[in-house]
A and B are shown apart, each in its own frame.
Chain A
Amino acid sequence: MSSSGERLFEGADWDFQILQRIHDACEEIAHKELGLDVYPNQIEVITAEQMLDAYSSVGMPLFYKHWSFGKQFAFQEASYRKGLMGLAYEIVINSSPCISYLMEENTATMQTLVIAHAAFGHNHFFKNNYLFKQWTDADGILDYLEFAKGYIAACEDRHGSEAVERTLDAAHALMSHGVDRYPGKKMLDLRDEEKRAGQRRQHEESVFNDLWRTVPNVKTKTKASLTAERRRALLGLPQENILYFLEKTAPRLAPWQRELIRIVRHIAQYFYPQGQTKVMNEGTATYVHYRIMNRLHQQGRITDGNFLEFLQSHTNVVFQPEFDDRRFSGFNPYALGFAMMQDIERIVSAPEDEDREWFPDIAGKGDVEGVLREIWANYRDESFISQFLSPALIRRFRLFHLHDDPADSAGIRVDAIHDERGYRRVRRELARQYDVGFVDANIEVIDVDLDGDRRLMLRHTTVKDAQLNETDTRRVLQHLADLWSYDVVLTEVDGSDKVLKEYVVSPRVAAAAAA
């Protein structure tokens, strides 16, 4: 190594030259040793207050205005002030250039850790993981957010902030059902998106002719009603992306309302991969910072003291409380992800017989970095766990599977533990917990009654008898009905199409009038 042995910094203080040196040192290791391929980095130094600001706009540097972000901010500020919540050391944005926010309070060691973690670990993952490649446009996101912010502000000027707020409220309520789950359509190009919106507005303005309004209505021919099948095909039904369906087919929305829905939908889509790769993303970043920090220490570029400081925060980050611990609140994605990455490293470099049997493809292959890069690129949490959670790790975490069937009066059954009979079942169940197909309720738009009262029909197919919470569902459906402008019916059915419950919600008059 060219500059090995030379200390990057002394003590806890840092300045911009030191940050640059740290970055360069990390970059050298990331490239030469780990073979990472990253977007150009942009490191931004911010204050604690700005970090709080960023929290409440989902970590993005710019975002449109909405009261719900203010609510979040008020809440977070209160818990931060009371000391209930610490702030993250860093926020990183999936964009090109990849922006990492560093808090000014961090010591030089922490900045090194954060740069290794975010600017190389997360950055590599964003650039190479297939989900991000498929669904997000890192080059365009910042421009698109800028456009969204401006567009929404312009709408508020034109149509009043109340009407905009009402539309956004409704769209937010349906955000979790505003994503395409399966690829098929072409990937979004957010820059084009922005241009397209502008062009459409221009087109509308240029072809607007008030005369058309005065032309008497031509009597519409009474069409033979479409067959149900043809109608559904025309509307693209069944459709699980409710926001997309509304944007395209809701009968009484104004063009700007469709655009707002589109914006919310695109942003939901942008964040969709992040929800599916928490374990992998954090695992990758933690593994990368661990490797880089260790190497820096080995090269003598950080002192033993710095290294101990790093180890302490690293240990805190990857701490996994056990289920009966008061601190337990589900799996820590850092802990699980990092443990799995290290475990894969072990399997690739020094496998045991059991590993050879379970992982014939990678056991003893020797090229740790290559195998890991391959995995980082091609898996998401669910498939990653169901493929690579090893018996050794199941034993180390002492994982067990609980099955809680309300019909079973004996209690909650321990279904599998970390033994020969249980490994596969534990692994399958854990993978399922990370499967988006199970995390979000399976709700689809199935039909529209075009001949009758235009009611919109949705269906929720329950999984394992879990039904929707009634109060919340009514509220969400209210929003949906307001956008649709006619009645909305949601039917809950179980796997065998037996109807469990039916909701009917009518639009509020005010919303219909606003359309």
Chain B
Amino acid sequence: MVMHIVDRRLNPGSKSLENRQRFLRRAKALVQGAVKKSSQDRDIKDVLEGGEVTIPLDGMDEPRFRREGGTRDMVLPGNKKFVEGDYLPRPSQSGGKGSGAGEGDSEDAFRFVLSRDEFVDLFLDDLELPDLAKRKLAETESEGIQRAGYSTSGSPANISISRTVSRALARRVALRRPRKDEIEALEAEIAECDDAARRRELMAQLEALVAKVKRIPYIDPIDIRYRRFETVPKPVAQAVMFCLMDVSGSMSEHMKDLAKRFYMLLYVFLKRRYKHVEIVFIRHTDRAEEVDEDTFFHGPASGGTLVSSALVAMNEIVRTRFRPADWNIYAAQASDGDNMTSDSGLTGQLLTTNILPVCQFFAYLEVGEAANYTFDMPDSSLWTLYERLRNEGAPLSMRKVSERGEIFPVFQDLFKRRSQQERVP
């Protein structure tokens, strides 16, 4: 009998992908809750990793008619000492064995693994970058070149040889241009021909053919085609994220940790949107410097507080390295709110004239001590300043945070998908 062997290994895998997505869609609310819960006690570095989540089975189970209780009979293997009529004590309530528990009964939770993409998608679902299209349409785009068919005119460098030759061939066939071997055959016949009349006739034929060849060129200017290119606007696929942080003595480790968490979320979020994301860390006391990540979060520093110094530094870096036309610029500032009173004027001016116009988004995060309810305290000097600017219409977002658990809600609130009219408060 004939037997067929089929190699299916190269078939596209993940046939179950769609079913899996349907399942995730259906369990979305549950999975999302689980994702948020599991990300809360995760290190921010690992937020991007996928991982195992557990969701309650409620609503995801598939009910069936199942029976339970009643008189049970079972036949088991491996009798060692029982004889007919013996009595065995019943196992304690929960540990009943025998008929296996049906699906959906014993498991009240369902564990499975999410891939990194699924995790991030669910994690950042319903969030979007604010004001992207509205403010900077011209600047967020650059020009790229794209093939766009063929044209009849263009520069010689762009001649498409294959297209030209094939058109020429078509034309030659259509106009019946005599082929080289036809002429050669005729010449050969003439050379061998003895009969004068016949020879004359052939000569006339040959002449006609040669004339025709001359009339119909091998390649005609109308055959020539040029590759056509078009410039298309291309969205800028790179973003830079400025992390500004006050590292003066008044900032505790706890506050820095809060700030770090916020930055990390912003990073994850931007990373999903842009191919390439750069981070610039600027820390400041009464003067600002650009540092690496480790120094940023852990390096010791002390001194007074001049917020404007950080803004000056950021402005300088933007000017020299990140042309606003080529980069999407995001900035997030974290501080405990202290600033020299005399600095307010300069800070406000720098912000409104230099920084905000080039930024896609500027967020100010005021961090406080864990036990300390910042909300009860009088507003800090920086908060007061920023609030005034905002009321004057500056596109700023600001929030206060004092607990780790508040970071994600605050972040989500800032980037929540909003209808057109709403503004980020």
Q: Which of A181-189, A368-376, A424-432 contacts B (4 or more CB under 8 A)?
A: A424-432
Chain A neighbourhood of B18, CB < 8 A: 65, 70
Q: What separation, in Å, do the CA atoms of A75 and B57 have in the docked complex?
A: 12
Q: B84 to A422, Cβ gap below 8 A?
A: yes
Q: Which of A47-55, A229-237, A254-262, A304-312 contacts B (4 or more CB under 8 A)?
A: A47-55
The binding surface of chain A is classed by DSSP as mixed
Judge whether B349 is part of the interface by a CB distance below 8 angstroms. no
A399 touches B77 (CB 8 A): yes
CA distance A225 to B279 in the complex (A): 81
Nearest residue, chain B, Cβ from A430:
B75
A470 to chain B, nearest CB (A): 9
Residues of A within 8 A of B22 (CB): 65-67, 70, 165
A77-B112 in contact (CB<8A) = yes
**Which single member of A57, A403, A412 contacts B90 (CB below 8 Å)?**
A412
| Chain B: minimal CB distance from A279 (Å) | 13
Tell me which of A24, A320, A399, A411 contacts B88 (CB under 8 A). A411
With A47-B13, A53-B16, A323-B77: A416-B5 Cβ-Cβ less than 8 Å: no
Residues of chain B in range 84-127 having any CB-CB distance to chain A below 8 Å: 84-90, 98, 100, 102, 104-105, 110-113
A70 and B66 contacting across the interface, CB-CB below 8 Å? no
A466 touching B88, Cβ below 8 Å: no
Shortest Cβ distance from A331 into B: residue: B77
A415 B1 Cβ-Cβ under 8 A: no
Task: List CB contacts (< 8 Å) of A167-197 with chain B.
Answer: 169, 172-173, 175-177
Does A413 interact with chain B (Cβ within 8 Å)?
A: yes
Taken together as a complex, chains A and B put the C-alpha atoms of A409 and B417 apart, in Å, by: 64
Name the segment of B23-31, B206-214, B281-289, B384-392 touching the other chain. B23-31
A94 CB to nearest chain B CB (Å): 17
Whether A325 lies near B14 (C-beta < 8 A) is no
Task: Give Cα A65–Cα B111 distance, bound, in whole angstroms.
Answer: 22
Whether A46 and B9, one on each chain, are in contact in the complex, defined by CB atoms closer than 8 angstroms, is: yes
Decide yes or no: A19 and B5 within 8 Å by CB, A49-B13, A176-B64, A476-B65 being known contacts: yes
Q: Are A77 and B113 touching (Cβ within 8 A)?
A: yes
Point out the residues of chain B lying under 8 angstroms from A57, CB to CB: 15-16, 19
Whether the pair A71, B13 counts as a contact (CB closer than 8 A) is no
Supposing A67-B25, A429-B75 touch, asked if A78 and B113 sit within 8 A by C-beta, the answer is yes
Chain B residues contacting A223 (CB-CB under 8 Å) are none
Chain B residue contacts of A20, Cβ below 8 A: 3, 5
B26's closest neighbor in chain A, by CB?
Answer: A67
Query: Are A50 and B13 interface neighbours, CB within 8 A?
Result: yes
Q: Is B88 a contact of A402 with CB atoms below 8 Å? A: yes
A104 to B8, CA, bound (A): 10
Of listed B6, B62, B86, residue having the most chain A CB within 10 A: B62
Q: Does A510 lie at the interface of the complex (its beta carbon under 8 Å from any beta carbon of B)?
A: no
Which A-B residue pairs are the 5 nearest by beta carbons? A322-B78, A70-B23, A466-B70, A70-B19, A475-B63
Q: A78-B111, A165-B26 are in contact. List 15 more A-B contacts (CB 8 A).
A: A23-B3, A24-B3, A42-B6, A50-B13, A70-B18, A70-B23, A101-B8, A402-B76, A403-B73, A405-B71, A406-B71, A412-B90, A413-B86, A429-B74, A467-B67
Q: Can you report 21 residue pairs joining A to B where beta carbons are below 8 Å apart?
A: A50-B15, A57-B15, A57-B19, A67-B22, A69-B23, A77-B113, A173-B62, A177-B65, A330-B100, A397-B77, A400-B76, A402-B75, A411-B90, A414-B85, A417-B79, A419-B84, A443-B65, A467-B70, A472-B63, A473-B63, A473-B66
